[in-house]
Structure 1
Amino acid sequence: MSFTGSLILSGIGGLMYKYGGQQAVKEEDLPVGTRGLTLGFIQVRIKVVKERWGRVSTNFWNTLVRSGGYKYPFRGVSEMFRSSIYVYHWGRAFAFYVALYLTVAFVYFITILPVYLALLAFCGPIGFAIAYLHFLLHSNMLTMLVVRFTQLNNTLFDLTLTHNGKDVFVKRALDSPTLPIRYYIPMNTYYFWFNHLPWRLTVHFIQFIALLTLLLISLIPILGPITFNALISPFIARLYFSRFLRLKKLDNKRRDDEFYFNLGLYISFGFVAGQLEIIPFVSGLIYSSNSVGGGLCAIAALDAEVAAPAISNQNGTTGEVREPTVA
């Protein structure tokens, strides 16, 4: 349970996060013909990489520092404990965290901890102290892998927006019968078998190797869990921001665009959020305050959406208004 079980539960949660709460729509504009399924596919992949790199290189510094994403996890702590309206939601999440953490820690204690104690025995009492401290941090890291994917605090995120004047936005989104779209490639096409499936298998294999590498890094006593959270910073933020993008009814392609366009913001928010989640038990509370912080960041984005057209009108400029983001 401690290691394998946490990964399995995280995987299940990841699938629910990726595919749940959306309407599946068949992708219509698919390449056909020999050229489209060979050279055309490669050209499209190269174009996507160039576009994403262009977004990252253009906006990275601005979204990393000037967006102030690193401030929102701290603001979330202040907001959550300042108002009693959040107590039920963070209390429920904390109870779930404690139950899961104690389970993971118990299994870790009887399976993995003895290995560390044996390996660090030559260091004497200091080695035992390092082993036990790593046991607490690593168990917490594995627990948080599962907790984040539960999306348990979606209602807390909504409450943050409602409590801070965005009740109309939340009500309109929740009352709307339209679900965010997730485009898929139908299996009864040549494109699926010759291009899409091999490509996705390659991507998933690379992701598996990356995850395995990160997990090996996390095994380093004490520093491992801290480094692990730092390296997955943008993906931590992506989980906390996902509720906002789905309330806005963005499809899966546009959500990916938002991630790369605002990568600096995702890194700055995710790094601070992840480091605050390092300490056992405290992280059970920080999980909720990070959700509140994500909500406050979303509120800033909604306010910016309103301000942008007004500024354009005052300056007498017209043109395409880019889809608002969490930046």
Structure 2
Amino acid sequence: MNERHPHSNKSFLGPLVLIAAVVVAVGAAFAYTAGWLTPARLTPTKIVEVLAPPAGPALGFRRAHAKGICFTGTFEANGAGSDLSKAQMFAAGTYPVTGRFNLASPDLKAPDGTARVRSLSLRIRTPDGQEWRSAMINAPFFPVATPQAFYDLQVASADKSHPDALKNFATAHPEIGAFSQWAGSAPFTSSYAEDRYNGINSFVFTNAQGQDQAVRWSFKPAAIPVPVSSDELKKREPDFLLADITERVAKATQRWAMTVMVAGPGDPTSDPSKAWPEDRRSVGVGTLSVTKIEPEADGSCRDINFDPTVLPAGMRTSDDPFPAARSAAYSVSYNRRTAEEKDYPRTPSITTTTGAKP
């Protein structure tokens, strides 16, 4: 159904079942900011509500990516990123990081071995008072090309009254074929520390000379990924990912190398379902080091909204509609969960200070 990955209807439906299971997971990430005054069009509230699991959301928690764990650490820039962006975080130096590992699922009790998509969220602060927030996933691209298509996919995957709903959606949106193939064949790892996390949306970096370049980025693990079958993962303890990353970081700092890929002529910047060619210019700009793990209930990441439009000077959004859309949906989720704090109590003896902004 996709010209690059042809499938018969029969062979394609198997991976689509997997897509139906994980698509809400990738989810909370995406909403459509247009249509505030036109009820027939999408709004952030509609997206947040369509992502809710059948039993309703876990009160006090993020509306998707509900299950996660906080960390702190540093980003050590090597200076090479300054050729691309004047953002201070790319000037050679070390900057504080607060972040979160999480499952891309709205189900707070989801067993770790059942989640196909995992996520890494970061906030990096610099001495000039600016900060950069980002949320990435271990998939190399997104299932669909537009926010409207994403919403329609949620509806189709939840439609039990029409057995062909998902098949019909795939026919209308052949770009989902690449994600379906990745979800069905890419190897799993048994640790957050072994995953590569990709910024699937395009942004624009501006350097000190005023030159613009469209970019995407990724964080590649220093830990060697060890492939594990999905069947093996499902046999493990329900919280094995949380236990594993806690144990690893207690023993040694865990690291990821940040690489920025620069778009070439004709590379799509508005469509996160299309990967850029691997031969594009890539610049290694620094290293993320995770030095401490914190349970989320009292952790420094708890009250951070990892809004991808919170950017320092030298970075801005591109023609990709998803960052602004994610920002709008995250705001709805943030406002709801912080109003429900009594449903997610902190440890009484612990006071956290995050300095977070909505």
* TM-score interval, smaller chain: under 0.3
Structure-1-length-normalised TM-score: 0.27
Computing the radius of gyration from Cα coordinates, the structure with the larger value is 1
Which protein has greater RCO, CA pairs closer than 8 Å, 6+ apart?
1
